[in-house]
Amino acid sequence: MQRVDGWRERLGAGLKGLAMAGKNNPWGGGGNGDEPRADGPSGDGGGAGGGNDGPRNPWLPGGGDPGKRRSASIEDIFKNRGPEGPRRAGGGGNGPTFRLPERPGGKSWLPIIIGGVALIWVGVTSFHVIQPGEQAVVTWLGGKYSDTLNSGIKMTAPWPIQMVTKENVTQVRLEEVPGTNTEKLILTGDQNLVDLSYLIRWNISDLALYQYQLNDPRNALLEIGEAAMRAAVARQNLDTVLTGAGRAEIEQEVRERMQARLDSYRSGISVQGIEINKVDPPSQVEEAFKDVSSAQQDADAAINRSRAVAQQTLARAQGDASEFNDIYEEYRMAPEVTRRRLYYETMEQILSKTDKTIVETGNVTPYLPLPELRRRAQAQPPQQQEGN
């Protein structure tokens, strides 16, 4: 804005001078003449009526040096203007005025600054701190494999001559198949479908092979895992898969199949384990599967109750048989005594359940029927309540 304002002021002064005669015209006219000079903004020298002693162009460099004067073009005007206005003669020419300070002896500091920056760059990009559990792959110019670095402080050529890529190789990573809110139908050995989801736990065993052997190691892991799971489930029937009886066998078989295939591909991946999360029937027939499962549970409960009754009856029969054998052994040793004891025990069991008592006449105390009196006493209160 300062430059534009200054230019406006000078342009206004120039136009005003053109309107004036005599010595006020910066381009023409002698000191005493009234005729304007011919060397205007587009002229090339002094006019016919003027000489070389007229006023010079104030925007041209050279100060008061004598010589032939010419008109200033617009390029000259802007060429000779600085941040604060027109440059003065001898003010440093057209080049920059800023210069770096010099060292003792007149030498420049620029080579030392460049060398310091280069040393810092080499130190920062050549030393690498690799944490425990990490490995790093070194490549030439980001392309050709060079070396694998283990944990510690390592040194390489500076970037971009050698590039270092770090990776945690001990971290156990999880892959969920088939993912959240996604159905994965797998065919069982008895031609039924189940919706099965599982987790794959894995880590990197060889970083160089992991990065350069396969195009997409993670996708290869998922594809191999799905193929192994389908092959393992196809060997089991529906009940075994749903009830969980064969899950441990399936998980072990899937892990072994996956590891064998990954090793054959030289993938640099180690499968730590397989975990089956969910085994459900397909959503379209889930209600029917629930009904079948409920009926099977009811049938199992009835079978269990029947087995319990059968076991109790068998145990009772075995006890009676054992008791009979014991009595028979006693009877063989003393038949008369055993026969009389059996008679007494049998009559005691029978007569203990009757209210009648048989007595002989003669010196016998009359029998008091206590059971009959007890029954009458128990039946009397309701009769009294009815009478009231």
**Can you read off the two tokens belonging to residue 124?**
């920062």
pLDDT in tens, 351-364: 777 766 666 666 66
* Helix/strand/coil for 282: coil
Give the confidence band of 28 by pLDDT, cuts at 50, 70, 90.
very low
Number of H helices, E strands in the chain: 10, 11
Per-residue confidence (pLDDT) for residue 364, from 0 to 100: 63
pLDDT, position 307: 94
Q: Confidence band (pLDDT; 50, 70, 90) for 309?
A: very high
Query: Binning pLDDT at 50, 70 and 90, where does residue 327 land?
Result: confident
What is the C-alpha separation between 66 and 286, in angstroms, rounded? 110
Q: How many CB atoms lie within 10 A of CB 255?
A: 20
> What residue segments make up the domains of the chain, in order of their start?
2-86, 125-168, 173-280
pLDDT at 260 over 90: yes
Percent of the chain with pLDDT over 70: 68
Average pLDDT on 29-36 reads 44
Name the phi and psi angles at 220, rounded to 5: -65, -40
Q: What is the pLDDT of residue 202?
A: 95
**Which residues have C-beta within 8 Å of that of residue 244, sequence separation ≥ 6?**
279
The pLDDT of residue 253 is above 90 = yes
pLDDT value of residue 222: 94
Is the pLDDT reported for residue 326 higher than 60?
Answer: yes
Give the pLDDT confidence score for residue 306 in this predicted structure: 95
Cα–Cα dist 319/41, whole Å: 142
How much is the pLDDT for 297? 87
Residue 100 has pLDDT above 90, yes or no: no
- Look at residue 245 and tell me whether its pLDDT is greater than 90: no
| Range from 84-88, 97-101, 180-184, 185-189 carrying the lowest mean pLDDT | 84-88
State the chain's mean pLDDT as an integer.
76
Whether 111 shows a pLDDT value over 60: the answer reads yes
- The yes or no reply on domain 173-280 and CATH 3.30.565.10 is no
Residue 33 pLDDT more than 70? no
Three-state DSSP state, 177: strand
pLDDT band of 57, cuts 50, 70, 90? low
Exposure b/e, 36-56, CB count within 10 A at least 16 = b: bbebeeeeeebbeebeeebbb
Q: What is the DSSP string of 203-249?
A: EES-HHHHHHT-S-HHHHHHHHHHHHHHHHHTTS-HHHHHHTTTHHH
**Which residue in this structure is represented by tokens 């809110």?**
181
Q: What is the pLDDT of residues 183-221, one digit of tens each?
A: 788 989 888 888 899 999 999 999 989 988 898 999 999
- Higher-confidence residue of 359 and 113: namely 113
Highest mean pLDDT, choosing among 27-36, 164-173, 378-387 = 164-173
Which pLDDT does position 46 carry in this prediction?
40
pLDDT at 381: 61
Mean pLDDT of the 95-105 span: 65
